[in-house]
């Protein structure tokens, strides 16, 4: 069985960076907490990608516990692809057209 591989869409990388900067401007500790919580969510999705149900296109959503964000990912074994780190109430579904 091949090892699992984590990939992050370039737009998701930008979202991660922009959100961290936004929180750091409020409080540097908050930026660090966001990053730590995001890392835990990515790790959970990577370790157990089938844990969250897939939508009709095979995309899954893992919500962060404290911050109003979720990671949106696809799992095509052995690859877990993070498509977006989306705010829970802003521009729903904006990431749907992102390619693999």
43: tokens are 């790790």
CATH number of the domain within which 45 lies = 3.30.2310.20
CB 38 within 8 A of CB 64: yes
Considering the domain boundaries, does residue 76 fall inside one?
A: yes
pTM of the model: 0.88
Residue 62, token pair as written in the block: 């893992």
How far is it, in rounded angstroms, from Cα 78 to Cα 73? 13
pLDDT band at 100 (very low <50, low <70, confident <90, very high): low
Q: Which residue has the tokens 């999705």?
A: 45
Asked if the structure places residue 49 within a domain, the reply is yes
The domain containing residue 41 runs over which residues? 5-87
**pLDDT by residue (tens digit) across 32-78?**
999 999 999 999 999 999 999 999 889 999 999 999 999 999 999 89
The predicted structure's pLDDT at residue 59: 92
* Helix, strand, or coil (residue 17): helix
Per-residue confidence (pLDDT) for residue 65, from 0 to 100:
94
Of the candidates 76, 99, 34, the one whose C-alpha atom is nearest the C-alpha of residue 84 is 99
pLDDT at residue 17 is higher than 70: yes
């Amino acid at each position: 069985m091949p090892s699992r591989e984590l990939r992050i869409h370039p737009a998701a990388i930008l979202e991660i960076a922009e959100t961290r900067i936004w929180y750091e401007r409020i409080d540097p500790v908050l930026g660090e907490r966001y990053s730590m919580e995001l890392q835990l969510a990515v790790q959970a999705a990577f370790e157990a990608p089938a844990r969250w149900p897939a939508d009709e296109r095979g995309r899954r959503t893992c919500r962060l516990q404290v911050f109003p964000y979720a990671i949106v990912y696809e799992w095509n074994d052995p690859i877990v692809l993070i498509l977006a780190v989306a705010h829970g109430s802003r521009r729903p579904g904006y990431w749907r057209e992102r390619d693999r």
